[in-house]
Every structure is written in structure tokens, then in C-alpha cells.
């Protein structure tokens, strides 16, 4: 597949990395010679210095025979015009654009991005995606990651193992004997910053971050098996009233009206604007690092603090202060990946990385075959993939133990006619089953092939 990526910033770089690893023909266009040099030196992609929305630049990048254009420059307008040029002049079939400014995304202007006006097939708003990711994590206290799959019948959860976690120091193959009716499959372990794709002989140790797939109906039981039985937050404090903070408060008001929410916002004008957009949320104007303001917001009695200002250092410090003053749990927005390994040791419970979320959302639309969703778990760890099994797939018909799965691939769950099946060695996948699996980066392309539509299928 030939893909043109407009923008060589963090998101553009990581999409290019993912796609080039899978042997796609990738060209990256950016105005910055420095960014293009960095991407050309470190990835197997073509770099082109040029203006992403200029027809001449797109022609040089090979738009005449491109399958897809992904526009993730820092300017919404450049992204939108690049998609328009790709459509009108070069007839590129699929166009994806990152659009940040909320004015473009108001429901009343939804016709703007239709095929007759500005033909963009997929619009991604990082702020909305991040707000949704935070909302998901609020639903399962005790988990630092939560992703719903297969119409919410299955969930992926990420939890930390403490010293008193009942499951530590037990070989994973014994879990089915200890919990015979618990549909749970452990698909990944992070230990001391290193990823492990576990086998039956591996054990979880205190301090491990564990990713597992579970039947949604068994979620409370699975969490208690890991020693997590924290109640859902009833009092929430949001630090930062930008787009993410506002979306988050709006989602809480709409879907969780019993939660008492407060927002602290530094700018007086923005605080007034946010207060006018919300009905039951209390908005306090002040500095999120000011002890008096935090006390006024009653941080000591707050179960969860969500720090989503536009500054990483402020988010980290404000989260640490909130914990010091008695808050039980912190969810912290961090853009710089260099900080991520420090978070656990600092005592921050959940880290939300906008780049990973945006990359996952874009990859979902890039994958081929019957792949319904893709979620990137940690940098360089692997991907959680939800796909539909086709009659021609080598996965169908034989017991799983006899299927030659690529290395680094683990089946997490099978959903058949609305029923969740926890895969065992003798389980057989049937055509039309929804399969949830984890794939290490080097095996993603092979997984894609397993779920691609073969010509003889027609």
C-alpha cells in the first residue's frame, strides 16, 4: 500500500514507523528539513521537504498512485486543504485528517466534510479521543488502561500487581485451575520497562504492569482476583479547562450525572466560557498548583483528580500535590514519552498519552482485511486487534494448538453469537467469529494477512 503522510511531527513519525515496519511504501512530507532528515535517517521511508497542501509537493510524493493520504501537520487548515487537493487533483481513495479546532467539528457544520464539499473520509480530533480515553479509565478504578472491544462484550484491562495481589508468583497456566470459570487471558506484561509476551510458564511478579482480556460481565471478579476492589469515583476534580477538560466534564454530566465534578481553570475568560457550557459542574478560577485553590476545591475528599492542562510538568506536579493532600487516584495527561517510565515510581496512577491514542485511532482506518479495531499498547510493545475470522483464514477449523500462530501472537477472546469464549488449546475458531488478539510489532503484518479477504473467497 502506498501512503503519503503530511507532517513529520511526533504523530506523523510514529504512524510512518508502524506502516514502514509492515513494508508499506511510505512518503512523509514536511516543511522542516530537520524533521525530514530525522525521519529519513531512522525509518525506511521517503522524506520530502515541501508544503503538504501544495499540489506540486503531493505530486512529488507520488499522489498520482497513492492509496491513502494521512494529514497530521500542526495546522488544521493545511490538513484539510491537503485532503481536498489529494481528492480533486489526484483522486486519492482514502483521506484522513487530524482536525483540532472545535469550531470545525460542531454538529451544525457536519456537512462541511461531505464528499461534495471537503472530502475527508476520517476526521480525528485528539482532544475528543483523549477525553473519551480518560472517561473509560474512570469507569474501572484500579486499572490504568481500559479498552472496550466487540461491542463492549470484551474488555482489555491494564492493572499493576502489588505485593498482596493474590495472583503473583503463580505460573499462568495454573490460573485456569485456580479460576476455572473466569474468562481471562493475560496477553502482555511490562516488567522494569521491558515488554514480555507471556507463555504458560511465566509468572506475574509484584510491580508488574499486566494487560489482560476479560469477558465484560466478569470484570468485577477479575479485578478482585488482582486485588483491586476500589469503588467508582463519586467526586471528580479536573485540572485544566481546555478542550479536553471541557469534553470530559460534558461526558460526565451526560453519562454519569451522579458524579460531582469540579474544574480548576487558570484563565478568567476561559473559566467563564467553560462555566457557561456546563450545567452542574462547579468551575473554580485559579492556579492548579496553588494550595489554597486545591483546598477550596476540597481535593482531600476527592476520589479522582484528572490533570489535563496543556503543560506536562504542571500536570505531573499538580497530580503529586493532589495525592499529597489526600486525593486517592490521579489520571495525568503527559505528551512527552520521556516522562512515562517515571510515572509509576512517582506514584501517579494512570498516564494518558495523546500521541498513542491518536496513532491507534488512525491505524484502525489503515489496517486491511476484516479488522474492526486496533489499539496500540505502549510504545513498541504491540497491538491489540479485533478482527472477524473468514472461511479462508488459516485460523478457522483447526484446534488453536495446531494453528501455526506467528511468534508474539496471543488469542485473548473469541465472541460467537454474542457469547464470549476464552480460547484454550482445543478451541476451534469458526468463520464469522470475532477474534481479539495481541500481536507483537513484528507480527502485525502476518496477523493482517490471516484476516485478509482471499481472492478465492469470492
Mean pLDDT of 376-397: 84
Q: Per-residue confidence at 367, pLDDT binned at 50, 70, 90? A: low
pLDDT (0 to 100) of residue 394? 84
* pTM for this prediction: 0.82
E strand intervals along 315-381: 329-333, 350-352, 371-377
98 or 359: which leads in pLDDT: 98
Q: Per-residue confidence at 453, pLDDT binned at 50, 70, 90? A: low
Q: Per-residue confidence at 267, pLDDT binned at 50, 70, 90? A: very high
**pLDDT tens per residue, range 281-305:** 999 999 999 999 999 999 999 999 9
Most confident of 77-81, 133-137, 194-198: 77-81
- Residue 240 burial (CB count, 10 A): 26
pLDDT (0 to 100) of residue 373? 80
H or E element: which one contains 340? none
**pLDDT tens per residue, range 407-425:** 889 999 999 999 999 898 8
pLDDT (0 to 100) of residue 82? 96
pLDDT at 358 over 80: yes
pLDDT (0 to 100) of residue 458? 30
Mean pLDDT of 314-321: 96
383 or 305: which leads in pLDDT: 305
pLDDT (0 to 100) of residue 369? 56
Sign for the CA dihedral angle at 322, 323, 329, 331 comes to positive
170-179, 225-234, 361-370: segment of lowest average pLDDT: 361-370
pLDDT (0 to 100) of residue 199? 87
Mean pLDDT of 143-155: 91
Q: What is the C-alpha separation between 243 and 234, in angstroms, rounded? A: 22
CB 58 within 8 A of CB 29: yes
Q: What is the C-alpha separation between 385 and 411, in angstroms, rounded? A: 10
Mean pLDDT of 351-371: 79
Most confident of 15-29, 170-184, 261-275: 261-275
Q: What is the C-alpha separation between 302 and 239, in angstroms, rounded? A: 12
pLDDT (0 to 100) of residue 447? 84
Mean pLDDT of 346-360: 86
Q: What is the C-alpha separation between 67 and 310, in angstroms, rounded? A: 35
Which single residue is written with the C-alpha cell 510515572?
343
In terms of C-beta density within 10 A (0-12 exposed, 13-18 middle, 19 or more buried), how is residue 445 classed?
middle
**pLDDT tens per residue, range 201-236:** 899 999 999 999 999 999 998 998 888 888 888 899
- Taking alpha carbons only, the member of 104, 17, 95 closest to residue 52 is 95
Percent of the chain whose pLDDT exceeds 90: 55
Q: Which of the 8 DSSP states describes residue 133?
A: H
pLDDT (0 to 100) of residue 356? 82
Look up residue 291 and give its three cell numbers. 494550595
pLDDT (0 to 100) of residue 456? 37
pLDDT at 455 over 60: no
Look up residue 149 and give its three cell numbers. 472491544
Mean pLDDT of 57-68: 95
Q: Per-residue confidence at 428, pLDDT binned at 50, 70, 90? A: very high
Q: Is 432 left (phi over 0), alpha (psi -120 to 50) or beta?
A: left
pLDDT at 89 over 80: yes
Residue ranges and CATH numbers for the domains of the chain are 2-124 (3.40.50.720), 235-356 (3.40.50.720), 357-457 (3.30.70.1450)
Q: Per-residue confidence at 457, pLDDT binned at 50, 70, 90? A: very low
Amino acid at each position: 500500500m502506498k501512503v503519503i503522510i503530511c507532517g513529520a511531527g511526533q504523530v506523523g513519525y510514529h504512524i510512518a514507523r508502524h506502516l514502514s515496519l509492515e513494508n508499506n511504501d511510505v512518503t512523509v512530507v514536511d516543511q522542516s528539513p530537520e524533521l525530514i532528515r530525522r525521519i529519513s535517517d531512522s525509518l525506511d521511508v521517503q522524506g520530502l521537504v515541501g508544503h503538504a497542501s501544495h499540489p506540486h509537493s503531493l505530486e512529488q510524493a507520488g499522489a498520482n498512485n497513492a492509496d491513502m493520504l494521512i494529514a497530521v501537520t500542526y495546522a488544521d487548515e493545511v490538513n484539510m486543504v491537503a485532503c481536498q487537493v489529494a481528492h480533486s487533483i489526484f483522486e486519492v481513495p482514502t483521506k484522513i485528517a487530524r482536525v483540532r479546532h472545535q469550531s470545525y467539528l460542531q454538529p451544525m457544520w457536519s456537512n462541511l466534510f461531505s464528499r461534495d464539499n471537503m472530502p475527508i473520509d476520517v476526521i480525528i480530533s485528539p482532544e475528543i479521543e483523549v477525553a473519551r480515553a480518560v472517561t473509560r479509565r474512570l469507569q474501572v478504578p484500579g486499572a490504568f488502561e481500559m479498552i472496550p472491544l466487540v461491542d463492549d462484550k470484551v474488555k482489555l484491562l491494564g492493572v499493576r500487581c502489588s505485593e498482596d495481589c493474590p495472583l503473583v508468583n503463580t505460573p499462568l497456566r495454573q490460573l485456569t485451575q485456580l479460576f476455572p470459570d473466569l474468562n481471562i487471558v493475560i496477553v502482555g506484561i511490562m516488567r522494569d520497562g521491558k515488554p514480555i509476551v507471556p507463555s504458560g510458564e511465566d509468572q506475574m511478579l509484584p510491580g508488574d504492569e499486566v494487560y489482560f482480556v476479560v469477558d465484560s460481565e466478569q470484570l468485577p471478579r477479575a479485578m478482585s482476583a488482582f486485588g483491586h476492589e476500589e469503588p467508582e469515583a463519586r467526586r471528580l476534580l479536573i485540572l485544566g479547562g481546555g478542550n479536553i477538560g471541557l469534553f470530559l466534564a460534558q461526558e460526565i454530566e451526560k453519562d454519569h450525572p451522579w458524579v460531582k465534578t469540579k474544574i480548576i481553570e487558570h484563565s478568567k475568560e476561559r473559566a467563564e466560557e467553560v462555566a457557561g457550557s456546563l450545567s452542574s459542574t462547579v468551575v473554580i478560577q485559579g492556579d492548579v498548583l496553588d494550595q489554597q485553590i486545591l483546598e477550596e476545591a476540597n481535593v482531600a475528599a476527592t476520589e479522582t483528580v484528572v490533570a489535563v492542562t496543556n503543560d506536562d510538568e504542571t500536570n505531573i506536579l499538580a497530580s503529586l500535590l493532589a495525592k499529597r493532600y489526600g486525593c486517592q487516584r490521579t489520571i495525568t495527561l503527559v505528551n512527552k514519552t520521556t516522562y512515562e517510565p517515571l510515572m509509576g515510581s512517582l506514584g501517579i496512577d494512570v498516564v494518558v498519552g495523546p500521541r498513542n491514542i491518536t496513532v491507534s485511532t488512525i491505524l484502525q482506518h489503515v489496517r486491511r482485511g476484516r479488522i474492526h479495531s486496533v489499539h496500540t499498547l505502549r510504545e513498541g510493545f504491540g497491538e491489540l486487534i479485533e478482527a472477524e475470522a473468514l472461511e479462508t483464514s488459516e485460523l478457522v477449523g483447526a484446534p488453536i494448538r495446531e494453528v501455526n500462530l506467528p511468534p508474539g501472537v496471543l488469542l485473548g477472546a473469541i465472541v460467537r453469537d454474542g457469547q464470549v469464549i476464552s480460547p484454550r488449546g482445543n478451541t476451534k475458531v469458526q468463520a464469522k467469529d470475532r477474534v481479539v488478539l495481541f500481536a507483537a510489532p513484528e507480527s502485525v503484518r502476518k496477523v493482517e494477512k490471516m484476516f485478509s479477504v482471499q481472492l478465492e473467497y469470492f
